[in-house]
Structure 1
Amino acid sequence: MTHLLVVAHGSRREDSNLEIRELTKQLRLMTNCFAAIDCAFLEIAEPSIAQALTQQITLGARQIVVMPYFLSAGRHVSIDIPEQVQRIRDTHPQIDIRIANHLGAAETIGEIAIELAILAI
């Protein structure tokens, strides 16, 4: 029962948050590797990381992969997200919560960047 939680920054602009919700729907269609795929936001928008993790645990998750949807390993990726995840680990020690590499760490990110640039030509 592994669940995936995609964590984005969150925005006051609801269309930006909707992009993440739509991505989550696409991911659900792309794979059956996870019992559930949800999204959460570091700040500004809901659900928060704590809310989403708690919801997944309530739904029966025993292992959760948190994927930071960020391009670089700045403060949010290296400090803020791990701190928030650790709070849930502390209150639910029986749940295996892992943090995946952030999006920008993917080996193919350069290819994606070039593809987007070429599409703009």
Structure 2
Amino acid sequence: MKKSLLVVAHGSRRQASNDEVRALTERVRAESNERFAAIECAFLELAEPSIPDGLERLIADGAAHITVLPYFLAAGRHVIEDIPEEVSTTQSKHPDVHIEIAPYLGTSETMPRLLLTMLADSAATSV
């Protein structure tokens, strides 16, 4: 059984910022090679859908195993407390669904390589 993925970002009063997360989610979906049964995004605050709404949407679509990916660079309060609390609330309503929280983006071993690649790409295009 394939997992479903929920990309969780902070959310912004600025609609364009929220749309960037939605566009990223679309790109992840397009490049996932059907690795996930479904890929959605949700926001901790200031934008919709909320984390519970995003989880509920995946569950309504038949998800039995959901990975929540915190799209955050550092382990602040949102990563350590808020996201786990939101997930726990939904998990208690659906004990038959396995919901796991992946490490937040900033912990990725590929982050230094990504930053250097971005800088190299930027330098190449600005010449």
TM-score (normalised: structure 1): 0.96
Paired position in structure 1 for 2:48? 46
Cα offset, 1:55, TM superposition: 0.8
Paired position in structure 1 for 2:23? 22
Percent of residue pairs bearing the same amino acid type: 50
Query: Which runs of no fewer than 5 residues in structure 2 stay unpaired?
Result: none
Query: Which runs of no fewer than 5 residues in structure 1 stay unpaired?
Result: none
What code does the residue aligned with 2:49 have? P
Paired position in structure 1 for 2:36? 34
- Residue aligned with 1:43, SS: coil
What code does the residue aligned with 1:74 have? G
Distance across 2 between alignment mates of 1:24 and 1:68: 12
Matched residue count: 121
CA RMSD between the two structures: 1.0
Cα offset, 1:117, TM superposition: 2.8
Paired position in structure 2 for 1:13? 14
Distance across 1 between alignment mates of 2:53 and 2:117: 35
| Structure exhibiting the larger radius of gyration computed from Cα positions | 2
TM-score (normalised: structure 2): 0.91
What code does the residue aligned with 1:69 have? Y
